[in-house]
Structure 1
Amino acid sequence: MAGVLAAVALSEHADVTVVESDRYPDTPVPRRGLPQGHHNHMFMRGGVEALEKLLPGITARLHEAGAKRRELPSGNLTRSGEGWFRRRPSSAYVLLSSRDLTDHVLRRTALADERITVLQDTRVIGLTGSAERVTGVRVRDGADAEQTLDADLVVDATGRRSQAPAWLTELGVGPVREEVVDGGFAYSSRVFEAPEGLREDFPGVLIQAQAGTGLPGRGAALLPNEGQRWIVTLFGTRGAVPPTDEEGFARFARETRHPVIADLISVARPVSAIHPYRGMANRRRYYEKLPVPEGFVATGDSLMAPNPNYGTGMSQAALQALALRDTVRRHRGVRPGLARKAQKALARIATAPWQAAVTQDHFFPDVQSNAKRRPGPSQLRLTQRVTKVAAENGRVAEAVFNGAALSGSPLAIFAPANLLAILRGPRLPQLTAKQAMAQFPEFGDVLAHAHKDDHVGSGN
């Protein structure tokens, strides 16, 4: 996605070649080059708005294909580490569909541009040029034939396993400083066919993992997708890796901090295998700290790969592509001096989501981190206090969710009125699970068989 959207950003100024190691399917189905496609995905409001600027009309096309919009928190039953959220209107939202559908619609729209060419079943195997200027790439196709592609600008969008740091070192650039914070997260996901008769606006459900307890984090998410289907992702940290067998999957869902998702999938029909996903560490490469050579820019997960649990990867790809387009426009094309300006602009997009993700992940047990600075107990207490107040205070919740949706400044949380509410602390009793679910009549009677009382530990 980062590569296709970068191609869109550049196509108004130049002919663009996308080098794709996979082959694109003709329909929205899983593909080899998208191993994370089996798991839940969401486009945050900020990413959706960036997409619309890059590809006008794309939001309507996604809706027509079956994507669903859900407001945060009013369209999503949410239990944070500090309690159940009250249902209040908010301008924050997410766009939900399978990753296969999202990619398919975006590709068909973006690659219709005659200035964009795609080389499929072709891998980049190195950069050409020098420490002062990257002049192109060396590629190898499916028949093992090699060639060199010359370019005025090379954009690395090869993801978290990018080899660009090594290739730049070969040219005499670097090393690239890389920061890794691994909270030990793992996924297991499955697609279900929703029971008949549910409302079209059926909400999402999120049971967040609780950090800072000294115990492994456990959570689950149920997201409505196209075609009256749900994608259910179970997630846990070291010591609580979600299983991939039938019995274990159902048991883990019931052992999260509330069994509502287990209750829902017990009346739904599974329509896929259970797929695991590992290797979810936060990873950031500080290219902007280097004397970046002319002709090279890193974007998407190649620049900063957040823990997918926070749902910002696709949205950051869109926001970075928009920043790339705007930087090229201000620079009046792909000219000398562009690469450094563009890399700094993309790094600024990555900063706030990076801080949010790694701050949270540092508080799970057995975190592995090479970060120079780590959050301390006072930061954990502040995060917990903000989350607890946001669960009941609409103004604070608006700031929190728009920050998470990349559509507002994270500093909005500390606006005077919000800061006063945070300092004052919660003023309302926390919702029980029964009260939280009663806020969503969209559930209908699908939970009629569920526990009548909150299970142990689920009342707050």
Structure 2
Amino acid sequence: MTEATRRNPTRVVVIGGSIAGMLAAAAVKDHADSVEIIEAHELPEGPEPRTGVPQAVHIHFLHAGGAEAIESLLPGTTDQLLAAGANRIPMTTNMVIYSPEGWYRRWQRPTHFMISASRDLTDSIVREQVLKDPRVSVRTNTKAVALRGDHRTVTGVRIHTADGTQAVLDADLVIDASGRATRTPQWLAELGITGLAEKRIDSGLVYASRFYRAPVPTRDWPMVGVQADPGLPQPGKAGGILPIEGDRWHVSLMGAPGGQPPREAGAFEAFARTLRHPVLADLLALAEPLTDVSVTHSTANRRYFYERLKHWPKGLVVLGDSVASFNPVYAQGISVAAQGALALRGVLASGLAHGLARRAQQAIARPVNTAWTLAVGQDIHFPTTTGASPNLADRLLHRYVSRLSRTATGSFHAATALTDVLALQAPPTSLVKPRVLLTALAGPLRPQLEQPQFTPAERRLLDSLHKHAASPQ
């Protein structure tokens, strides 16, 4: 913000105490005198479940692009996560992934990474980092019910508290980070701003998840996943095991309509055996379940194209799931919110007050574009998907990416090019650079793997566990 706008104390109100809301506060705190977060529920003190985050029971990880954005906003966060038991997983060195095109190799030259932890742990550490700044405060058990202002300028929000009290909070900048339940489209209409475009593309995927006591130390243990193949005639099924803090495995199984995972605990592992490969079921047979099964049906990709509106009011920014939410199978939500918050900080740091809110919204749209292209570009090819169908260009691109993915099973360069994009560190357009095109044309340089690639040490440990499980007790 310019010096002209700082003659009076600048106040920012953030709607939503989610991780997106916390990262939004981190992005603006150095450019404001006060930041107040409005949260509809209580916030836990530590790594405990937070009301209003049903997706927390399903596997989460931070892509490299998201982890780096959070680290830029909140230096030291990665070290705190690792100290609390999170895992830094080198890609593809510690990943056992069965793609539709075959097993990816575990190349010993890691080029990227991901951070694996429970959502509760990630939330708590980010929240602690943000709230230790005296400029940031939280008003819990409070709902934002309307924007104040007009179609030219948003000047604050109207709130309701748990005891029924109503009040108005004035603000120089309002940030909506309330998530999938956002009411900004309705609020804009009430201000006379119409024409907002929206897309909703739903593969119908259902998630079922539970936590297990891992039979092995989880530090340096690989992530294991079986991906769905949209080219098969049966409903798509997928699953993953993520090593997290507390020597636990976080396990999620997914299935499209006609092949949805069960809610019953006794049928969870049996469903895992129906995936394209039984590796998950074989591993779960060695582990101890710690929780019941949690199921969710809210997996649609949904996006509001705020950046396309002809008019955008001063004093309003929308961030995180309030802009776009993605099929959670791609684990993009937190990373995209972090990159959006980082983009917001960059716009604020420019010092140009004119058109700040519109420029911020356009900057936030850029990481959303990448994630949207990846998620929708995959989901539209499942026969159960509603909201969009692949056209000729989509089918040709899908064939090319499938060829590149098959090449990646035996080509380090192809694997690196794909991982650049999947880690949210490069745009999808990077996959059609001349060198990548030539790599895809050449095909894999090594023969395909016939089975999951565990290291000799991992294989010995698993063999010993299998022998122990088979021996008479």
Alignment TM class, shorter chain as reference: over 0.9
CA deviation digits over 1:67-126, x for unaligned, max 9? Answer: 101012111101101100111123111100000000001101111111111111111111
Which amino acid letter does the alignment assign opposite residue 424 of structure 2?
Answer: L
Residue 406 (str. 1) matches residue 424 (str. 2):
yes
1:377 alignment partner, SS class: helix
Q: How many residues align?
A: 446
Going from structure 1 to structure 2, the CA distance change for 1:372 and 1:408 (only over 3 Å counts) comes to: closer
**Offset of 1:380 from its aligned partner?**
2.4
Going from structure 1 to structure 2, the CA distance change for 1:374 and 1:355 (only over 3 Å counts) comes to: farther
CA deviation digits over 1:152-204, x for unaligned, max 9? Answer: 111111112211101110110123110111111111000001115x4631111
- d(CA) in 2 for partners of 1:284 and 1:59? 29
Does the 8 Å CA contact 2:156/2:172 hold for their aligned counterparts? Answer: yes
1:358 aligns to what? 376
Going from structure 1 to structure 2, the CA distance change for 1:241 and 1:199 (only over 3 Å counts) comes to: closer
1:50 aligns to what? 69
Going from structure 1 to structure 2, the CA distance change for 1:30 and 1:374 (only over 3 Å counts) comes to: farther
**Offset of 1:309 from its aligned partner?**
0.7
2:81 alignment partner, SS class: helix
2:188 aligns to what? 168
**Offset of 1:375 from its aligned partner?**
5.3
- d(CA) in 2 for partners of 1:262 and 1:372? 33
Does the 8 Å CA contact 1:316/1:350 hold for their aligned counterparts? Answer: yes
1:369 alignment partner, SS class: coil
- d(CA) in 2 for partners of 1:326 and 1:236? 39
1:43 alignment partner, SS class: strand
1:211 aligns to what? 230
**Offset of 1:51 from its aligned partner?**
0.9
Does the 8 Å CA contact 1:263/1:447 hold for their aligned counterparts? Answer: no
Which amino acid letter does the alignment assign opposite residue 414 of structure 1?
Answer: V
Q: TM-score, normalised by structure 2?
A: 0.91
**Mapping 1:31-430, distance limit 5 Å:** 31-88=50-107, 89-195=109-215, 198=217, 200-290=219-309, 291-332=311-352, 335-370=353-388, 376-430=394-448
Does the 8 Å CA contact 2:286/2:465 hold for their aligned counterparts? Answer: no
- d(CA) in 2 for partners of 1:324 and 1:36? 25
Does the 8 Å CA contact 2:223/2:243 hold for their aligned counterparts? Answer: yes
Does the 8 Å CA contact 1:154/1:297 hold for their aligned counterparts? Answer: yes
Does the 8 Å CA contact 2:112/2:423 hold for their aligned counterparts? Answer: yes
- d(CA) in 1 for partners of 2:387 and 2:414? 30
- d(CA) in 1 for partners of 2:190 and 2:459? 57
- d(CA) in 1 for partners of 2:123 and 2:392? 36
**Offset of 1:330 from its aligned partner?**
0.3
Which amino acid letter does the alignment assign opposite residue 157 of structure 2?
Answer: V
Does the 8 Å CA contact 1:215/1:365 hold for their aligned counterparts? Answer: no
CA deviation digits over 1:371-426, x for unaligned, max 9? Answer: 89785432221121111011111011011112111123333333333211211223
Does the 8 Å CA contact 1:128/1:135 hold for their aligned counterparts? Answer: yes
1:365 alignment partner, SS class: coil
Structure 2, unaligned runs of 5 or more: 1-18, 468-473
Going from structure 1 to structure 2, the CA distance change for 1:372 and 1:257 (only over 3 Å counts) comes to: closer
- d(CA) in 1 for partners of 2:390 and 2:458? 46
- d(CA) in 2 for partners of 1:117 and 1:427? 55
Does the 8 Å CA contact 1:238/1:365 hold for their aligned counterparts? Answer: no
Which amino acid letter does the alignment assign opposite residue 76 of structure 1?
Answer: M
2:21 aligns to what? 3
- d(CA) in 2 for partners of 1:256 and 1:375? 30
Does the 8 Å CA contact 1:294/1:336 hold for their aligned counterparts? Answer: no
Does the 8 Å CA contact 2:314/2:356 hold for their aligned counterparts? Answer: yes
Higher relative contact order, chain-length normalized (CA < 8 Å, sep 6+): 1
What is the Cα-based RMSD across aligned positions, in Å? 1.8
Going from structure 1 to structure 2, the CA distance change for 1:134 and 1:371 (only over 3 Å counts) comes to: farther
**Offset of 1:211 from its aligned partner?**
1.4
- d(CA) in 1 for partners of 2:165 and 2:151? 27
- d(CA) in 1 for partners of 2:443 and 2:312? 46
- d(CA) in 2 for partners of 1:100 and 1:220? 21
User: Alignment identity in percent?
Assistant: 39
CA deviation digits over 1:46-75, x for unaligned, max 9? Answer: 111111111111111111111101012111
2:4 aligns to what? none
1:144 alignment partner, SS class: coil
Does the 8 Å CA contact 1:165/1:175 hold for their aligned counterparts? Answer: no
Does the 8 Å CA contact 1:263/1:450 hold for their aligned counterparts? Answer: no
Which amino acid letter does the alignment assign opposite residue 116 of structure 1?
Answer: V
2:461 aligns to what? 445
Does the 8 Å CA contact 1:331/1:338 hold for their aligned counterparts? Answer: no
- d(CA) in 2 for partners of 1:293 and 1:66? 43
2:31 alignment partner, SS class: coil
Going from structure 1 to structure 2, the CA distance change for 1:395 and 1:446 (only over 3 Å counts) comes to: same
**Offset of 1:447 from its aligned partner?**
4.8
**Offset of 1:239 from its aligned partner?**
1.5
1:33 alignment partner, SS class: coil
Going from structure 1 to structure 2, the CA distance change for 1:225 and 1:374 (only over 3 Å counts) comes to: farther
- d(CA) in 2 for partners of 1:71 and 1:217? 27
Going from structure 1 to structure 2, the CA distance change for 1:403 and 1:8 (only over 3 Å counts) comes to: same
Deviates more, 1:137-146 or 1:405-414: 405-414
Going from structure 1 to structure 2, the CA distance change for 1:378 and 1:97 (only over 3 Å counts) comes to: same
Going from structure 1 to structure 2, the CA distance change for 1:163 and 1:440 (only over 3 Å counts) comes to: farther
- d(CA) in 2 for partners of 1:176 and 1:403? 29
